[in-house]
Each structure stands twice: as structure tokens, then as C-alpha cells.
Amino acid sequence: MKGTYVLIIENHADIEVEIGKIGRIEFKKGFYAYVGSALSGLEQRVERHLREAGKNKKLHWHIDYFLASPATEIKEIVFAETGERKECEIAASLHMENGLDSIENFGCTDCSCKSHLFFYTSLDRLKEHVYNSFYSVGEHFLATKINPV
């Protein structure tokens, strides 16, 4: 399956993380939405994000470094089956939402977007923004809540 996805992530503490070539970034306690796509295996990409750092997981993408922090936890995955990249359209929609902050240059080295990682203090409001972004680009989506082990 090919598609576009958004990881809804809770960051349990104010942290600073070394993110690949970007360098050190401060992440506030709160909730983050990371927009990505996988046009050659959506299930495998999502499974990779869900694996704990250090367990057969090389840190490759910006999001890998952030998720490697013990303070972060994926709460939900929102995705749509798409045959073409929709991640930039969804990220652009999230940029237009009032109140959302973004982490500049995060997750967008292969496009001209400002960011693919967004921050908000309320989980429910962030999810609402993410759902609306899928609607705005005309994609039907599914949301999967992640149950902590």
C-alpha cells in the first residue's frame, strides 16, 4: 500500500535532541504531528516508526532522532492510501492553521516546505487540525490509536 501519513506524538518533557545534520533542537513538552509519505510500502514505514530505537533501527530520517528520545511516544497514526505524494499539501494545510507552531526545516530536506513537524499544546486540537488537513486535500483517511504496551 502506498500513502501519506501523520504521526501524532506526545513529548512528555522539554528536551533537546541532536537531529542529524540540522543540529540540536529544543522540543517543548506537548504534542507533535509529523507528516510523511511512503510510496513504496506504507505499512513497513509505519512499522519502522513504531519500533523502539536501538532495535534494528538505524537513525536515518529527522523523525528517527526525535522518536529515539525516551520522552516521546506515538499516540496515533493518521493515514490515507494515495498513489502520489500528498505530504506537502497536508503540511501546507497545517501551516495555515492558527496556533500551530512548526519546527523549521524538519523532515523536508527533499521538498520546499518550511516544515513537516508541527507542535500544539492540546492533543485534541492537534488531532482536529490533522484531520482537517486530510479533508482539505480531499483524502479519506483512517486513524489508528496506538495502545502503550
d(CA 146, CA 74): 7
- Which positions ≥6 away from 61 have C-beta within 8 Å? 20, 36, 107
pLDDT at 148 over 70: no
Q: What is the pLDDT of residue 58?
A: 83
Give the tens place of pLDDT for each residue, 95-132: 998 789 999 999 999 899 999 999 999 999 999 999 99
Q: Length of the chain, please? A: 149
Q: What is the pLDDT of residue 140?
A: 84
Q: Which amino acid is at 111?
A: C
Span 42-47, mean pLDDT?
Answer: 91
pLDDT at 51 over 90: no
Q: By the 8 A CB rule, do 22 and 66 touch?
A: no
d(CA 18, CA 55): 19
DSSP tally for the chain: helices H, then strands E: 4, 8
If phi over 0 gives left and psi between -120 and 50 gives alpha, with beta otherwise, what is residue 22?
A: alpha
Span 30-39, mean pLDDT?
Answer: 96
pLDDT above 70 covers a percentage of the chain that reads 94
Q: What is the pLDDT of residue 56?
A: 61
pLDDT above 90 covers a percentage of the chain that reads 70
Q: What is the pLDDT of residue 8?
A: 96
Beta strands in 12-146 (DSSP E): 15-19, 23-27, 30-38, 72-81, 101-102, 117-120, 142-145
Q: By the 8 A CB rule, do 1 and 46 touch?
A: no
Domain residues of the chain, as ranges? 3-145
Cell for 144? 489508528
pLDDT at 149 over 50: no
Least confident of 27-31, 77-81, 108-112, 145-149: 145-149
